[in-house]
Amino acid sequence: MEGERAARSEALARPCGWRTLRAMAPSSPIPAARRTERFHYAIRNVVAHARALEERGRAVRYLNIGDPTLYGYAPPPEIVEALARALRDRKHGYAPSEGLREAREAIARHMTTRRAARTEPSDVVVGAGASEAADLLLSALVEPGDEVLTPVPSYPLYGAILAKLGAVERTYRLRPELDWGPDLDELASRIGPRTRAVVVIHPNNPTGAVWSRDVLASLLAVLAKCPNVVLIADEVYADLAFDGPPPALAALAGDGVPVVTLDSFSKSYLVPGWRVGWLAFGRHPSLGAELRGAVRKLAEGRLCSPGPPQHAVAAGLDGPRTHLADVVSRMRASAEHVAARMARIPGVSCVPPRAAFYAMPRVPLRAGQTDERWVLDLLEATGNLLVHGSGFHMAPEDGFVRVVTLPSVAELDVVLDAIEGFVHRADAAGGGA
């Protein structure tokens, strides 16, 4: 008893780690957790270089981040009014952890009627964007050392979450010669005993690809043989496909493949800062109470995603959705313009995007030059910021870059003139590959 009291007062007088602290130099920086070393997010990382350029007085055009609100796209008024009403009505409190009931009902209706994938409100969990929904799902699903297959090029969210979880990101290739379709043989060969999930981003970021029904069916046929592998269908761009939304993977899969769909208000309702997205469990019996319960438990651990914007979900999904026709036609015009002009630059090729606001051209590199170096050289020379393909896991020497195609055609022409001039100058200097 006496000894215990002495130990406690010793601990109070010299708090934990005191000995270690004394041993360290007074100015030693506090180390960061090692898991962060594997965490890269190229889309935002390149911004540091652009900011440095701006500090030197140069103007920078940011074509690195897919935020339509920066380019004159505005959300439909009915959702702005619904959010304003929620705020006026003092709906400032915590929402239920899994999301507001009326929001989940609207999402279930949207999935069931428009996406043809029968969904109940209890299948839905609302997150702070699809990003948080993906984090909740993967955190509930994978153990350290488990494997998840992601596409290459890939939107980096998934690798970032997996790095944090100590899970292994394995990749399957999307091939430009297949119009950025998947290499399904490779995908099948990469599924192993520790594979817990396959991520499909469809329509795709960063390529803008939309796959044919045949490709989707072949993909599902591969996965139907692996009932314990979850197909994570990131369909945040479905409403922004130029020829209408492609079929939902959950609808095509029925109860043949365990599909969890991710979707979001960010892109199709033009409110990325609201942080409203969701996951919806499909009907496959292996998506059972244990996994659903684990997602819910993790959702409870962060209390809830932002409450007020959830009051606008039903207004948006059940509303007229008339904004989409104009938005998609503007996005289509810009994306097709970029692809066509890029493909006319000697040495550059570009698969025309079929959705959203990205294109992934291939540019000529100098011998030994990486795609990141090309992007930084372009930034330095022209003030235009793109993202290097290796930020999406492409090989740095392959020379792919992602262009956000959101500006108007007239604004894009300024960027494309600059890129064209930059490529010509590199070629004239004997640099083009």
Ligand X SMILES: Cc1ncc(COP(=O)(O)O)c(C=O)c1O
Residues 270-299 that bind ligand X (CB under 6 A): 272, 277
Query: Per-residue string for binding with ligand X, 99-138, x by CB under 6 A?
Result: ------------------------------xxx-------
CB of 332 within 8 A of CB of 377? Answer: no
Q: Which of 88, 335, 329, 302 is nearest to 206 (CA)?
A: 335
The reply to whether 234 sits near ligand X by the rule CB under 6 A is yes
Closest CB to ligand X belongs to which residue? 129
Q: Which of 190, 182, 98, 188 is nearest to 137 (CA)?
A: 98
The residue from 64, 150, 205, 405 that contacts ligand X (CB under 6 A) is 205
Nearer to ligand X, 155 or 400 (CB): 155
Least distance CB 254 / ligand X (angstroms) = 24
The residue from 142, 167, 219, 236 that contacts ligand X (CB under 6 A) is 236
Token pair in block for residue 315: 């207004």
In whole angstroms, give the CA distance from residue 199 to residue 166: 17
3-class state of residue 304 by DSSP: coil
The residue from 42, 125, 155, 269 that contacts ligand X (CB under 6 A) is 155
Containing 279, the helix (H) or strand (E) segment is: strand 277-281
The residue from 66, 151, 282, 391 that contacts ligand X (CB under 6 A) is 66
Nearer to ligand X, 119 or 204 (CB): 204
The residue from 171, 207, 261, 266 that contacts ligand X (CB under 6 A) is 266
In whole angstroms, give the CA distance from residue 259 to residue 113: 17
* 296-315 residues labelled b (16+ CB within 10 A) or e (exposed): bebbeeeebbebbbbbbbbb
CB of 226 within 8 A of CB of 337? Answer: no
Residue 328, number of CB atoms within 10 A of its CB: 20
Site size toward ligand X, by CB under 6 A: 14
The reply to whether 230 sits near ligand X by the rule CB under 6 A is no
The reply to whether 305 sits near ligand X by the rule CB under 6 A is no
Contacts of 114 (CB under 8 A, 6+ apart): 245
Give the chain's end-to-end CA distance (angstroms, integer): 78
The reply to whether 181 sits near ligand X by the rule CB under 6 A is no
Nearer to ligand X, 281 or 357 (CB): 357
Least distance CB 272 / ligand X (angstroms) = 5
The reply to whether 264 sits near ligand X by the rule CB under 6 A is yes
Burial group, residue 333, by CB count within 10 angstroms (0-12, 13-18, 19+): middle
Nearer to ligand X, 237 or 281 (CB): 237
Least distance CB 298 / ligand X (angstroms) = 16
Query: Which residues in this chain contact ligand X in the complex, by CB under 6 A?
Result: 66, 129-131, 155, 157, 201, 205, 234, 236, 264, 266, 272, 277
